[in-house]
A and B are shown apart, each in its own frame.
Chain A
């Protein structure tokens, strides 16, 4: 290993110590059981906490863009604003609606939240901080995150509300279209990295992130992934399914209380998931900035724990996404589909071919400059 500096702030030190401690005292079965339960609890907690932080961050950043102050009355700088929101939402009445499809109506929010939670488990938050490291991680994430659309479609269908219905139909068309683009953009990088496993993909980017390694092709793929990821999460300028000024609240018009809270949380979590996949695949995941040969610099950078790197890269991408969201007007449905089918998809296909050629002819940066 190139990196053998001590990294006292890494959580993986703690987890491996805990693992060994359990193993030395308990049988394999009990060790695994305890660890699984703990991992589950931590993931759920992280899920909620990240969502709350994102909600607060979005409101503050929006306020910054709009020359306002944003929440500032609950706690210092309004830090507890989203906590107050959650307390409120948890205790709000859940309305049972006549003439709706009861079962589907109640099931829909769970599809949404489960889909994003499943994806959440496969994300490497830091060195050793990954619940499951599939060997087909990219495929898994793409497959599971697209389950969320079922929640949206069911919500629209079961609400028996025309606005919801239009919102859900829009969402279906939009999601399925943009899923293609984001899938192809990830495939481009899979070609470059030669693996679908997140951990291997990250380790391969130690001195040269994928976005630099595949230069032109990677950058195109990165931009396309950001656009389509943005569209998949239903955030402006692609927020047609809930287009406030047209459809009041779109597909979740009829949801109240906690059920609405699920959609509200999932929206922010999806934004986080898209940003974190982009970080992992394109920006070297939890790895620090490293330059081959500069050992002292690498040492200092390596001293910063991996999860800090991960969250700051992800945070940067989220900031970009917010910036776009609060600057642009909303697209119309036909323009939205035009953008996908007439521009992004063809570019993507050509780009994938280009990447294959780059890899085959050895024109990647790593090859050209002999980076490890």
Chain B
């Protein structure tokens, strides 16, 4: 599979920036060669997974409101099939960390992440979740949620607009689309 083969409906492939990570990821996955039959089945599985990403909203502050905007009438996250927000981590595929994570919250976010079922993804929404944002110098703020749990997509902004969240979600779909479930090593 090559980068240009990843098709996201409605957006031309060349409109996606920051492809370096995905290219490396594909190379890494394909290091052992590709089995044609299995890769076809994989494509089907990935198609299903990438189009049915049910989010769990780990909203701690402002970014949560922007997620609500993204879910509401004007922007409508349902177009991507992602409006089924599961409040139980067991049933969610994607954790959207929207907001600052502080010391007191750290064990809890780790716990919720552990409760999620594989395959699971994490999207860090907003400056605070990425790096601590404006509060980076604070005594109680964790400098990026990736210190605690692995993050797949970073969406910068303070808070990010719904449009940028959608861009991030489509990047996540692209990442899911190159994954290999059968025959190859998994994440």
Q: Which residues of A are in contact with B by a Cβ distance under 8 Å?
A: 59, 63, 66-74, 78, 80-81, 83-89, 91-95, 244, 248-249, 252-257, 260
Contact at A59–B93, with CB atoms within 8 Å? Answer: no
Chain B residues within 8 Å of A88, by CB: 48-49, 52, 93
On whether A91 and B52 interact (CB within 8 A), knowing A68-B73, A73-B80, the answer reads no
Contact at B51–A73, with CB atoms within 8 Å? Answer: yes
Is B184 in the interface zone, CB < 8 Å from A?
no
Chain B residues within 8 Å of A252, by CB: 88, 91
Contact at B91–A73, with CB atoms within 8 Å? Answer: no
In Å, the complex CA distance between A93 and B181 comes to 12
On whether A84 and B51 interact (CB within 8 A), knowing A74-B81, A249-B87, A257-B117, the answer reads yes
Other A-B contacts than A71-B79, A91-B181, A260-B90, 12 sampled, CB-CB below 8 A, are: A68-B73, A73-B10, A73-B51, A73-B80, A84-B49, A85-B81, A87-B45, A87-B49, A91-B49, A92-B119, A253-B90, A255-B91
Contact at A66–B48, with CB atoms within 8 Å? Answer: no
Instruction: Identify 11 residue pairs between A and B in the complex whose beta-carbon atoms are under 8 Å apart, listed by A's number.
Output: A63-B78, A66-B73, A68-B76, A73-B9, A84-B81, A87-B44, A88-B93, A92-B118, A249-B86, A249-B87, A260-B91
**Interface of chain B residues 24 through 67 with chain A (CB within 8 A):** 44-45, 47-49, 51-52
Residues 135-168 of chain B, each 1 if its beta carbon lies under 8 Å from chain A, else 0: 0000000000000000000000000000000000
Contact at A83–B48, with CB atoms within 8 Å? Answer: yes
Contact at B87–A244, with CB atoms within 8 Å? Answer: yes
B15 CB to nearest chain A CB (Å):
16
In Å, the complex CA distance between A74 and B81 comes to 8
B27 CB to nearest chain A CB (Å):
25
Chain A residues within 8 Å of B51, by CB: 73-74, 80-81, 84
Cβ-closest chain B residue relative to A55:
B84
Considering the complex of A and B, which 10 residue pairs feature the smallest CB-CB distances, nearest first?
A87-B48, A249-B88, A256-B90, A256-B117, A93-B117, A84-B51, A93-B118, A88-B52, A248-B87, A85-B52
Cβ-closest chain B residue relative to A91:
B45
* Residue from B45, B117, B181 in contact with A95 in the complex, judged by beta carbons closer than 8 Å: B117
In Å, the complex CA distance between A89 and B117 comes to 11
In Å, the complex CA distance between A80 and B51 comes to 10
In Å, the complex CA distance between A160 and B87 comes to 18
- Where chain A touches its partner, the secondary structure class is loop
Cβ-closest chain A residue relative to B173:
A73
Chain B residues within 8 Å of A80, by CB: 51
Residues 112-138 of chain B, each 1 if its beta carbon lies under 8 Å from chain A, else 0: 000101110000000000000000000
Chain B residues within 8 Å of A71, by CB: 78-81
Contact at B76–A95, with CB atoms within 8 Å? Answer: no
Residues 87-118 of chain B, each 1 if its beta carbon lies under 8 Å from chain A, else 0: 11011010000000000000000000001011
Chain B residues within 8 Å of A83, by CB: 48
A187 CB to nearest chain B CB (Å):
38
Cβ-closest chain A residue relative to B10:
A73
Chain A residues within 8 Å of B76, by CB: 63, 68-70
Contact at A87–B47, with CB atoms within 8 Å? Answer: yes
Cβ-closest chain B residue relative to A70:
B78
Contact at A95–B90, with CB atoms within 8 Å? Answer: yes
Cβ-closest chain A residue relative to B87:
A248
In Å, the complex CA distance between A89 and B10 comes to 25
Contact at A69–B79, with CB atoms within 8 Å? Answer: yes
In Å, the complex CA distance between A257 and B181 comes to 16
Contact at B48–A68, with CB atoms within 8 Å? Answer: no
Chain B residues within 8 Å of A244, by CB: 87
Contact at B117–A94, with CB atoms within 8 Å? Answer: yes
Most chain A CB within 10 A, of B76, B79, B81, is at B81
Contact at A86–B48, with CB atoms within 8 Å? Answer: yes
Contact at A73–B79, with CB atoms within 8 Å? Answer: yes
Contact at B91–A256, with CB atoms within 8 Å? Answer: yes
A322 CB to nearest chain B CB (Å):
15
Cβ-closest chain A residue relative to B80:
A73
* Residue from A67, A78, A92, A254 in contact with B88 in the complex, judged by beta carbons closer than 8 Å: A254
* Residue from A78, A94, A248 in contact with B81 in the complex, judged by beta carbons closer than 8 Å: A78
A109 CB to nearest chain B CB (Å):
13
On whether A70 and B79 interact (CB within 8 A), knowing A81-B51, A257-B117, the answer reads yes
Contact at A81–B88, with CB atoms within 8 Å? Answer: no
A89 CB to nearest chain B CB (Å):
8
Chain B residues within 8 Å of A254, by CB: 88, 90
In Å, the complex CA distance between A255 and B115 comes to 11
Chain A residues within 8 Å of B86, by CB: 249
Chain A residues within 8 Å of B49, by CB: 84, 87-88, 91
Chain B residues within 8 Å of A63, by CB: 76, 78
Contact at B47–A84, with CB atoms within 8 Å? Answer: yes
Chain A residues within 8 Å of B119, by CB: 92-93
